[in-house]
Each structure stands twice: as C-alpha cells, then as structure tokens.
Amino acid sequence: MSKKSRKKSSKTPSGSPTATTKSAKTRASTQTRSAKTQRTPARKSAATIAKAGSHKAPSKQLKSSKSASSPAAVKSGLKSGLKSGLAEGQKAPAFRLPRDGGDVVTLADYAGRKLVLFFYPRADTPGCTREAIDFTRLAGAFVAAGTAVLGISADPLKAQEKFRDKHKLGVPLISDETHEMLEAYGAWGEKSMYGKSFLGILRTTILVGTDGKIARIWRNVRVDGHADEVLEAARSL
C-alpha cells in the first residue's frame, strides 16, 4: 500500500474520535426522542382520564335528576296528597289558623255551635267569588239557623283581605298556606287540567254539628245553588 493510501485510510478509522462523537450524539438524540415519546402519551392519558372523569359525574347527576322527575315519582307524590278518609260521623279535626283582619280562629271557638267550612281553590277567581258571595248573601239566614260559616283557602292573608274588600264579603276567610287543615278535611289532593295532574284544593264543604262531629260532606262542589243547599242541611240538624 502506498503512503498516500495509508494516510487516506488513517483519517477515517471506525474508532476515530470524530466517529465516536457522532455516534454518541446520535444515541443521545435517539434516547431523548424516545423519552419524549414515552412521556407524551402519559400526559395525554392522564388528561384523557381526568376529562373522562369530569364528564361522568354530571352524567350521573342528570340521570338521577331525570329519575326524580319520572312519571312514577310524580304519581307517587300525587298519591301522598290525595284526600283524607274523613267521613260523616267522625270528629271534626282541630285547627288553629289566621283569618282576615289578623285574628286567629280555632275549632274550639265554635264548640256547641253548628259550623260550615267551605274550602275554595283561589281567592277572586270566578267560581270562588260566586260561592263566597252566595254564602255572604245567606249570612243572616245561617245565623238564624245557629250556624257559623268560614271560608278557607291556601291564599295568604293579604290576598284574602283584598278578596273580602273587593266583593264586600261578610264571612270570615281563613288562610291555610301550609295545607294542614286542607289535608285533614280532605280538601287537598290530585286535580287535572289540560291532561296534566297536579296537587291543589278540591272544592269541598263540611258541615259540623253541635256535637263537634261531621254531619255532612260535599265534595267536588258545583257552585250554583250550593250555599242554599248547605243552609237547608244546617236548618235540618
């Protein structure tokens, strides 16, 4: 081999410093890319898991909410508010509630007297207005028959007083916003309108005798002529 050939081959030996340096750099670069490749999926995986977890919680809440408002749940709630089993001959349930004018009325206030309780859905609506006016028209006749008359709804006192003043009503109006008396007398329960069921006041009238027992019950009252019918029943006791 010539000197020239030996010099050329000696410049590029496989174990030369230059080759070693390049090889080390290549390995380091490869290891760095490999490490990055391994770390990146880990970060993405963690983010994906966190994201998935954040979506699962609302999903469960929505499902629970949907279940709570299901037809079965609504039906169950309606059943709990159906009218009581109050019947004629039973003792009238006691009550203590505010009336128009700020006074408090109790069943004991009418001990030994006949008492009419007419439950109406809402103050100052057409049917309720006619009913209250009819009982007012016959107020003197009820007094002559030894019978007191009270009107009851779930309206607040201010609404009751406005109702009284607007139509010059002459019977005390009781406010039962908690529905306790309404439920006790079976005047609170399931109603329907436009194909939808809901809880509300059932137009009902109760006649309590002098012995404190239920003498007559009128349910699903039709307003026209009703007050006159109740007066005749009170007179016959």
10's tokens:
């000696």
Asked if residue 104 lies in contact with residue 172, where contact means CB atoms within 8 angstroms, the answer is no
Quick one: CA torsion of 193, 72, 78, 217, rounded to 10 degrees? 90
43's tokens:
């970060």
Pick the catalytic residue from 86, 105, 116, 128: 128
Confirm whether 128 is a catalytic residue.
yes
Q: Is 105 left (phi over 0), alpha (psi -120 to 50) or beta?
A: beta
CA separation for the pair 155, 167 (Å, rounded): 16
Cite the beta strand spans of the chain per DSSP E: 96-98, 104-106, 114-119, 147-153, 173-175, 188-193, 196-201, 204-208, 214-219
CA triple 46-51-56, angle to 5 deg: 125
CA 63 to chain CA mean position, Å: 18
Asked if residue 200 lies in contact with residue 188, where contact means CB atoms within 8 angstroms, the answer is yes
Residues tagged active-site? 128
